[in-house]
Amino acid sequence: MTEHNFEHMRRAMITSQLRTTGTNDPAVLAAMGEVARERFVPAQRIAMAYADALVPLTSGRQLNSPMALGRLLTEAAPEKAGNALVIGAATGYAAAVLAKLVSSVVAVEEDAELAAAARAALADTGVTFVEGPLTEGHAAGAPYDLILIDGAVETVPQALIDQLKDEGKIATGIVENGVTRLALGRKAGEGFGIAAFADAAAAILPHFEKPKAFTF
């Protein structure tokens, strides 16, 4: 495929996948229209770069669909002067998009193969990349205005909530009773609440399972 082909596919993504499903923030649409998504998918999956689907990566991990990312960022409404943390950076696509919307971005990934791909793809984006456990975030860069968990989790660890500023937000996919929904959480003082706003497929991230209830 040529660069022209990808540009055409990127425009089609904006028109048919994002605008039609609730991604209506001009800044988010512009950012996703600028970032070459094909740079963040494996060569053997290049034809899926702009598909309305999860893209298989490695080790059971997937790249979120454009629609899921667009809706999360639209609901989160990132502030230009804000600083953000991306959890589950995978190959770096969401971090690259978010870097066009906020002042600073830290991206965290724990899978070594994905981390190597992300470092290469994010080299010229200004994103600070950190390899480490997803559930621990990156306390050294806290507090954050926005934490984007680029995937679906059963629970949001307290360690991540603690890294938010007061009135900060967490945008994520939430798995409830086997159903994946997109959700937005807010921190207020010592409290934190999260509410789903749309049903959508999202890549399941490892190590975010709810603790099993004790039974006799």
Tens of pLDDT along the chain (216 residues)? 677 799 999 999 999 999 999 999 999 999 999 999 999 999 999 999 999 999 999 878 999 999 999 999 999 999 999 999 999 999 999 999 999 999 999 999 999 999 999 999 999 999 999 999 999 999 999 999 999 999 999 999 999 999 999 999 999 999 998 899 999 999 999 999 999 999 999 999 999 998 776 555
Pair type for strands 164-176 and 144-153: parallel
CA distance 202 to 185: 17
Position 58 scores a pLDDT of 84
At residue 102, the 3 state secondary structure works out as: coil
Q: Measured between alpha carbons, how far apart are the two ends of the chain, in Å?
A: 58
Domain coordinates in residue numbering, the chain: 3-199
Contact between 144 and 130 (Cβ < 8 Å): no
pTM over 0.85: yes
Q: Looking at the domain 3-199, which fold is it?
A: Rossmann fold (3.40.50)
Confidence (pLDDT) at 194: 97
